[in-house]
Chains A and B, each alone.
Chain A
């Protein structure tokens, strides 16, 4: 029998637990909003290490937010001196080992929705659990840990360490379903006080003999879609967020592009007519946490790319169909 007293005791026991978890999750969200804004609006210069598949690399980053909007330069301190320069309009990748430069349009980045009451955040809660972690120290700075745990095996999770004062992401582990890290990034030095000159944002090497792969202007979204292509199915939570026909820097042929997202993880589907049969491919490959699944459908190369488990790119890749109109 449940006496009023027992009911009261029960309530007292259960209530704090529920509200603790809600508070914890809301606080985690608030930290992520700070992180997202910090990534855009701060000026900083720092060194970080990138650990993936047992390889350790050191890179330097310079980020400026000013009258020209966001400007960023990232380069490798060891091995091949690859560089990326990014501003509000374009992203330039300089790859000295391939003697090539890839230039593509840049798009505004948002790490997390600004509005915590928005549907986007509610949708995220369906597929991920957000928790506030411990405090720690990274690159000499006090940090707050935030944990993002996937609720199924179709997406990866994150362990994030944010600068307690500025909110900047100073360490991040991308983890699989069992919590093992797949890719890690950690700042070893961060300087918010540096005045960032224009020179610091210029690429160091830019060979004239390099091959340039550049977007042809405006050929992109204006092209008519090839309506026969369709992705019939996708893992739960992944919805089509964009669809377009574009010409990519390295390609001669226009590419059909589908973008699927669960709000955090993004998967791209590229469909392209390949002239050379030798250049077709099929199978799964990966680079760090980015998995790729390639397939041939109706004489076209279908390539699915995303920072998701192999199961997810395979699932989507195997759902691509071509329907003739008659």
Chain B
């Protein structure tokens, strides 16, 4: 039984498994960790045979990528902090003007960034002008604005801007639109 499954996995890795056998096998692999390890091993074997060894992923690679991504403090976050701090200071400085013309107030907040919490609270409490618009910066994967009108305006700016931008980005501008906030509920 076990050997038969192994044979099937080997055939699947090589793309030689019958289409009607695939769904059941994939379910079995999903449900069984040892079969998942088997699946990785067969891929390794296949990579070695095809001479791709230098680029193989280590065992448990998929899992570790997922975990790392969840935990990783990001490059961009540290940058954002710097940016934010400089902005926060400017906003504090410009509050008088902002309040007097009663324009928009801005509250930019980063999650999990205790360093700047003090700053952002300071901004929040000093700005007493009506908070007509909160523009919250989350982790930077999307415009997090409350008004759908604002969001769709930013989206259409981005789509339009992409058509004017030449540069070496290749598919990147489109990837941004397609993938920009897959976690949005």
Contact = CB atoms under 8 A, between A and B. Distances in A.
B166 A57 contact: no
A contacts with B: majority SS: strand
A286 interface: yes
A272 B153 CA distance: 10
A169 B170 contact: yes
Interface stretch (A2-10, A18-26, A71-79): A71-79
A183 B172 contact: yes
Task: Place the interface of chain B in its size category.
Answer: 35 or more
Given A137-B55, A279-B133, A281-B104, A305 B157 contact: yes
Contacts of A83: 178
Contacts of A292: 143, 154, 157
A248 interface: yes
B69 interface: yes
A57 B74 contact: no
Contacts of B72: 54
Interface stretch (B2-10, B13-21, B30-38, B144-152): B144-152
A280 B103 contact: yes
Contact of A266 (B133, B165, B176): B165
Contacts of A265: 165, 167
Interface centre among B75, B171, B184 (most CB of A within 10 A): B171
A93 interface: yes
Task: Place the interface of chain A in its size category.
Answer: 35 or more
Contacts of B160: 104, 246, 248-249, 257, 268, 270
Given A213-B152, A264-B167, 12 more contacts: A59-B175, A93-B155, A137-B54, A172-B172, A181-B75, A248-B153, A270-B157, A283-B91, A283-B135, A288-B141, A292-B157, A305-B161
7 contacts: A74-B174, A76-B179, A248-B153, A270-B157, A282-B103, A283-B91, A288-B180
Interface of B: 52, 54-55, 65, 69, 72, 74-77, 79-80, 83, 87, 91, 98, 103-106, 108, 132-133, 135, 137, 139-145, 147-180, 182-184
